[in-house]
Every structure is written in structure tokens, then in C-alpha cells.
């Protein structure tokens, strides 16, 4: 049963006249009478009493009984259309651990707060993330490597520098221009393996670290003890400063800057297009606001 037949029936019920109904529905009178006849044929009973010479229509008893049913069906059609046209507003996102806080967390907070987006955040390594995006098991992923892959769109987001940090007993943190790498106590390094480029640079100066961690929380626990130091991404420093005061040093010989890329499937499901585009827009807005720590790559 077509919705237009029910809509026509309800309008004719209100106007009690085919001519007036045709004007309201922007259709010819023969079209209106044809729709009513088609609906009656479908139902198997007459809806209106037709009298020659009478312009006003009268509902049959079955016609009166059918009004609430037709209204409910029309409401159901409207609900279906509304459901179809409501944009999907959920995302499953992957990030490597080193970008989770504060970058990805802050972007997701904004999406949830400003747009009501439901977000599930998972942690996967870069190569796993490529595979999951390709299989559409996750919608988007933040990674640190650009690996050209058929079916995946890779967008560069930002790069950032590294700094050497160590805890201080002072009541406030301080920044220093540079530090002599040769004067460092290598046994006190808390090593974080940021990526292959960083590892290659690191091994030129500190080839055999005694302590290695893979999370910022573990790093904080070690830094609280005197003498420990670590080389961190610039975006990690605000997280550390929430817990401990730091001496922050520039490195005299810089490692390659670390880049962040966002992955999406090249052929996304239609319902994801609006929300993924909005998410990427919010990402870029956030990065531009963090110009002191993140260098935009777009």
C-alpha cells in the first residue's frame, strides 16, 4: 500500500470534497478519485458514500473505522523516513597509545560534547590498524606510519618534535635551551620506542637502554624517582605536567620529527560519510589550535 493513497484518503476525510482535496494536494480531481478507488480496491470495501449531485462526501462506517488505522500507518511511514534521513552518529576509532592522550582524547571529547557522537576508542599498533580499517572493523585510525595500501585513504595530520624531560624538586617546571647528551646517566633513561626513525636515531647515542616502557602512566611512575629521564613527544608534556614538575630540554641533535596520519576506508559505508568528515574537520581545528606543540601537515 502506497503512502500517497493514505495521505489522499485523510485529506478527503477532512475536506469531504474531491475538488478541494485536489487543490490541497496539487493533483487533478481524476487523480484524487483514482487514488481513493485504488485504496478501496486494496481494502475490499468502500470508504465514502457517493451520491449524484452531492458535492459533499460522506464516510461509510468502515471508512470511519479506517481513519485511525490510516493515521497510524502514515505516522509509521514518517518514522521510517526520519530514520532513513537521520545521519549515523557513532564511530569506532583506533589510536596508537602514544597519541591517545591528550590528542585523540581531546578530539573525541569535543565530538561527544558538541555533536553528541558516540565514540568507541581502541588501541592498536599501526599495522594492525591498517588491516582493521581495510576490513571495516574500525572506522578510523590514528597511526604514525604512512603505508600505501589499496582501499585505504591516508591523510597526514601533524608532526611534532621530541624533548628530553626529567623530574625536578622545584615547585615549578622550567625550560632549558639544550642539554649535553654525553653528560647523561644512560642507566637512568626510561626508553619509549616511538617509531623506527626515532629508534635509529636513539641507537646512535643510547644503544642499550636498561628500562623500556610503553605507556605514559608507567613513564610517570619512573620519573617520580630522582635522576630518571626520558625523551618524549611534545604533545605528551602537558600530560606529564599534570602530575609532576619537569625540567624540559631541547635536544642538540634532533631526531626525525614524528608524524601522525589518520586512516579511513576509501569506500566507507554511506551512513559513515557525514560523521567521519565532521570528525576530520574537528581534528584539523584542534591541531590548528595547538600550533605551539603540533605542526599541521594539511
Quick: pLDDT tens for 212-263: 998 888 999 999 988 999 999 998 998 899 999 999 999 999 999 999 999 9
Helix (H) or strand (E) run with residue 123 in it: strand 118-123
pLDDT value, residue 53: 78
Degrees to nearest 5, angle at CA 100 with 269 and 195? 100
> How far is residue 233 from each of residues 32, 66, 179, 246, measured CA to CA in Å?
71, 69, 16, 14
3-state SS class at 284: helix
* Backbone phi, psi, residue 167, to 5°: -70, 155
pTM, entire model:
0.69
Angle (nearest 5°) at CA 296 between 194 and 287: 85
DSSP class of residue 253 equals S
Longest CA–CA span in the chain (Å) reads: 109
What does the pLDDT read at residue 41?
96
Contact 247, 163 (CB under 8 A): no
Rounded mean pLDDT of 12-16? 93
Helices (H), 176-272: 196-205, 216-223, 237-241
Which range is most confident: 27-36, 219-228, 268-277?
Answer: 27-36
How far CA 285 is from CA of 88, 115, 138, 277, in Å, comes to 22, 15, 23, 12
Distance CA 106, CA 283 (A): 9
Write down the mean pLDDT value for the chain: 93
Q: pLDDT value at position 87?
A: 66
Query: What is the pLDDT averaged over residues 132-157?
Result: 96
| Segments of 138-282 assigned E as strands | 140-143, 152-160, 162-167, 174-176, 190-191, 211-212, 229-233, 246-249, 258-265
Please state which of the ranges 13-22, 167-176, 212-221 shows the lowest mean pLDDT.
167-176
All structural domains of the chain, each given as residue ranges with its CATH number in brackets, are 3-85 (1.10.10.10), 90-159+258-296 (3.40.190.10), 162-249 (3.40.190.10)
Which has the higher per-residue pLDDT, 281 or 235?
281
Amino acid at each position: 500500500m502506497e503512502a500517497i493513497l493514505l495521505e489522499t484518503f485523510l485529506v478527503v476525510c477532512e475536506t469531504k470534497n474531491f475538488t478541494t482535496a485536489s487543490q490541497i494536494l496539487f493533483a487533478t480531481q481524476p487523480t484524487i478519485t483514482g487514488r481513493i478507488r485504488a485504496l478501496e480496491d486494496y481494502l475490499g470495501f468502500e470508504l465514502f458514500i457517493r451520491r449524484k449531485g452531492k458535492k459533499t462526501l460522506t464516510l461509510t462506517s468502515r471508512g470511519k473505522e479506517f481513519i485511525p488505522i490510516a493515521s497510524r500507518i502514515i505516522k509509521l511511514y514518517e518514522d521510517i523516513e526520519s530514520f532513513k534521513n537521520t545521519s549515523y552518529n557513532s564511530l569506532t576509532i583506533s589510536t596508537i597509545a602514544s597519541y591517545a592522550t591528550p590528542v585523540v582524547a581531546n578530539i573525541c571529547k569535543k565530538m561527544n560534547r558538541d555533536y553528541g557522537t558516540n565514540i568507541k576508542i581502541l588501541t592498536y599498533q599501526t599495522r594492525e590498524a591498517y588491516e582493521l580499517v581495510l576490513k571495516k572493523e574500525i572506522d578510523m585510525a590514528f597511526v604514525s606510519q604512512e603505508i600505501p595500501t589499496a582501499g585505504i585513504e591516508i591523510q597526514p595530520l601533524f608532526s611534532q618534535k621530541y624533548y628530553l624531560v626529567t623530574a625536578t624538586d622545584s615547585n615549578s617546571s622550567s625550560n632549558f635551551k639544550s642539554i649535553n647528551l654525553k653528560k647523561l646517566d644512560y642507566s637512568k633513561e626510561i626508553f619509549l620506542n616511538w617509531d623506527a626513525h626515532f629508534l635509529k636515531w636513539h641507537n646512535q647515542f643510547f644503544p642499550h637502554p636498561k628500562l623500556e616502557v610503553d605507556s605514559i602512566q608507567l613513564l610517570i611512575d619512573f620519573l617520580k624517582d630522582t635522576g630518571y629521564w626520558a625523551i618524549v613527544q611534545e604533545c605528551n608534556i602537558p600530560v606529564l605536567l599534570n602530575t609532576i614538575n619537569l625540567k624540559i630540554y631541547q635536544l642538540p641533535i634532533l631526531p626525525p620529527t614524528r608524524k601522525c596520519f589518520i586512516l579511513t576506508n576509501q569506500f566507507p559505508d554511506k551512513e559513515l560519510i557525514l560523521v567521519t568528515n565532521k570528525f576530520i574537520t574537528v581534528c584539523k581545528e584542534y591541531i590548528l589550535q595547538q600550533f605551539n606543540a603540533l605542526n599541521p601537515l594539511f
